[in-house]
Amino acid sequence: MSPELLKIKEKDLLFVDIETASQTSEFDENHPQFNSFQWKHRDKQTDELLPTSEVIKLYNRIAALSPVYGQIVCITVGYIADEKANIMTFSGDEFQIIKDFYEMVNNLGRTLVLWNADFDLPYIRKRAVILGVPVILRNDCGNDTDKKPWSIKGVLDLMQVWKGISYYNDSLEEVSAVLGLPSPKEDLRGSEVSKAFHGGRIADIISYCERDVVSTLNIFRKFTLQPVIDEIIVKEYKPQKPLPLLERIKNKGVIDDEDRKILDNFKGDKNKLDNILNSVL
């Protein structure tokens, strides 16, 4: 693909995908968001509103695509170790999903690898704001606030790598197929997640999300001329304690704003501290 891509170290990567659903399965004119959704999808030239029945159909079809009308069902992350794909999924309460995910990302300091980061990252951030999640994603780990797509740090969007300067985007499923990888859409598609979620099929959605992450991981392997990884290890998330300051800085290779504040308040020997920092950077 490119010389730069071949230089990336897999130990520094965290593969990510999210699944989203509409906030409710019972949407009608009595719902508090009905008027705003109806107005959003009006005829922009005439301001004519869609009839109620059409609004409900549209909501059921596309609400999951918007963080205003949708919600995060799960977030799956994956990493490569010893030629194995290690997969972990955050599910359950949406507030806790985002909080745990952000804490992990901030703690690890890895580059996030996604297919279509323009959807996932703003969606997570906006839901975090809506829910009042008291954790902010680090600027060097995919925080897209007030950023242009090309200025976000700590993100590798494989869809953009594949697209290059071409006009059209190809889907994860299409690229997986043409590269000879198993389809991640075996028994569920994105448009079916809302119905599955409200029908209680959480396990199916998690499996679907995990397959997407494995596909993203193996597309990266294909892009970097490496063999596909077949061995998948599914792990359970366990909250981790924050890394010690110096170990965190060593893993990241840089001193971010948060760590800089801690260092600025250091009361000990500054020269000794500088020598230690120079040894880890």
Higher pLDDT, 252 or 158: 158
Percent of the chain at pLDDT > 70 equals: 90
Number of residues that this document lists for the chain: 281
Average pLDDT over residues 151-168: 92
Q: Which pLDDT band holds residue 245 (cuts at 50, 70, 90)?
A: confident
The pLDDT of residue 150 is 81
**Token representation of residue 96:** 């806790």
The pLDDT of residue 157 is 96
Q: Is the pLDDT of residue 273 over 80?
A: no
Kindly report the backbone phi and psi dihedral angles of residue 69, in degrees, each rounded to the nearest multiple of 5, phi listed first: -115, -5
Closest by CA to 12, choosing from 98, 81, 92, 100, is 81
Helix (H, G, I), strand (E, B) or coil at 199: coil
**pLDDT single digits (tens) 28-76:** 999 999 999 999 999 999 999 999 999 999 999 999 999 999 999 999 9
Instruction: Give the CA radius of gyration of the chain.
Output: 21
Rounded CA separation 127/119 (Å): 12
Q: Is the pLDDT of residue 240 over 60?
A: no
Domain 3-23+69-242 has CATH 3.30.420.10: yes
Average pLDDT over residues 14-18: 97
Q: Is the pLDDT of residue 189 over 60?
A: yes
The pLDDT of residue 255 is 77
The pLDDT of residue 259 is 75
- CATH 3.30.420.10 range(s) for the chain read 3-23+69-242
Q: Which pLDDT band holds residue 251 (cuts at 50, 70, 90)?
A: low
Average pLDDT over residues 124-144: 94
The pLDDT of residue 192 is 86
The pLDDT of residue 171 is 93
Percent of the chain at pLDDT > 90 equals: 72
Q: Is the pLDDT of residue 147 over 70?
A: yes
Rounded CA separation 50/143 (Å): 36
Q: 17 near 71, Cβ under 8 Å?
A: no
Average pLDDT of the residues of the chain: 89
